Structure 1
Amino acid sequence: MELVAEKKDFDSANDNNKLNSAQAVLDSSYPPSVAADETGSNNNSKEAEDLSERVARDLKDGLHPLKHKFAFWYTRRTPGVRTQTSYEDNIKKIVDFSSVEGFWVSYCHLARPSSLPSPTDLHLFKEGIRPLWEDSANCNGGKWIIRFKKVVSGRFWEDLVLALVGDQLDFGDNICGAVLSIRFNEDILSVWNRNASDHQAVMGLRDSIKRHLKLPHGYVMEYKPHDASLRDNSSYRNTWLRG
């Protein structure tokens, strides 16, 4: 598979930031007592029961459970070739994970973005959410879009992945996932959220992304609701917020 590569050292251009983010991934694991506190207000919730069972199972196996279970997906299209398959059919799940150890085993064996052909999309989404506008978790939401030069996009993608898995971003429960779109002249990073009409959550997520990625002051980000994407069938037109 083109997305699998031998394990190799990460780019050391931002070691301190990566160490801090990696520690946050470790800090995102928690014992069952904390999980019970967070979900105790809704003991009848199947989601809460599943979470508690997963945490207990991972701890029994000597693993450090994450707050959320995630999956990596990818989409690869051949330029200039028309296909009869739908976009959904082209999305392939690579691996899912629910522990710190499972994340690092998965991530360290993925090829770096700089080695992947254009156009390719890498997706990291919470369990049960497909990286599609039409998914029930995404259909009322939107995405913050950030464009990067190809030489630096891999580092920012890695920092975002660590922040997402480590539950570092504000309004984390409103986040569905993130996408890195590898293109010919630039790469595009986007963070998807559940509710495009919640202005406070949308703008708070923007500020949190800027803070964790250490984007320069004035760096332009664009927000686009998924219903606008569905109307024009394009990921990056008709944005209505800039920040």
Structure 2
Amino acid sequence: MSNKFDALKTSDESGDEEFPQKYMQKLAKEVLVAPDISPDEHKLQYAYALWYSKRNPGKLGALLSYDQNLKLIGRFASVEQFWGLYSHLSRPSELNTHTDFHLFKIGIKPMWEDEANQRGGKWVVRLRKGLVSRCWENLILAMLGEQFMVGEEICGAVVSIRFQEDIICLWNKTASDLSTTQRIRDTLRRVLHLPPTALMEYKTHNDSLKGVKDHKI
């Protein structure tokens, strides 16, 4: 099956051209459980959900909370289901600024407040323009293929499209486990083909949440 993105660009009344808003809202109302797979499919170790968010400029965008911006695109539990979803997505490099994809294990919502994320953190990699689509594909294939070898520590990954750079983040459960976070860092550097000089930053979710609260104050 092809692993190429086909740009899914269906305009609607919201003005969001990347994904049809009504389709995403319908999916978001479903009970978030792992989808059934047929006996001839190749089951993944974990089932995943793919989310999409877009922060619109202006007052309306500022008023919407983070969870209100999250839209569920789809779920998969097998290799075949993954490619069936992935092949219909726009490449990250084709998305508009202030747009994010969130790929998380089913049962973990892509929010700091989720129980699985509360004591965790994330590795942050900032990319110059033009690299994000390849790096995102390499990362999610490594995640699905269990290349990080850290048990259940990996929660999910986020790709964020910004004006001057793009950002990839890999979330894990236990920020205090230094040996595990270092193993994740080393594997992430390898699967993204980053040079030894590339900067990588680790942020605990507590620090990220504190920064948001301080900014509001």
TM over 0.5: yes
* 1:80 CA drift (Å): 3.2
Which residue is equivalent to 1:241?
A: none
1:4·1:109 contact (CA, 8 Å) conserved in 2? no
- Count of equivalent residues: 185
Corresponding residue for 2:190?
Answer: 211
Residue 98 of structure 2 is matched in structure 1 by 119
**Contact 2:148 2:183 (8 Å CA) reproduced:** no
| Match among 135, 144, 149 for residue 165 of structure 1 | 144
CA deviations over 1:32-73 (Å, ceiling 9, x no partner): xxxxxxxxxxxxxxxxxx99xx8xx6352x111100000110
Q: Could you tell me whether the CA contact under 8 Å between 1:160 and 1:213 is conserved in 2?
A: yes
Q: 2:51 maps to what in 1?
A: 73
Q: Is the 8 A contact 2:154 2:172 kept in 1?
A: yes
Larger Rg: 1
- In structure 2, list runs of 5 or more residues that go unmatched: 1-9, 11-16, 21-32
Hey, which bits of structure 1, 4+ residues long, moved more than 2 A?
A: 1-5, 57-60, 79-85
- Map of 2:7 onto structure 1: none
Q: Per the alignment, in what secondary structure is the counterpart of residue 150 of structure 1?
A: coil
TM score, norm. by length of structure 1: 0.72
Shift of 1:172: 4.3
Q: Note the 1:32-181 alignment, pairs <5 A.
A: 58=37, 60=39, 62-83=40-61, 84-181=63-160
Structure 1: give runs of 5+ residues left out of the alignment: 6-49, 235-243
Say which SS state the counterpart of residue 69 (structure 1) adopts: strand
In structure 1, how many angstroms separate the alpha carbons of the residues matched to 2:60 and 2:155?
30
Cα root mean square deviation, aligned: 2.0
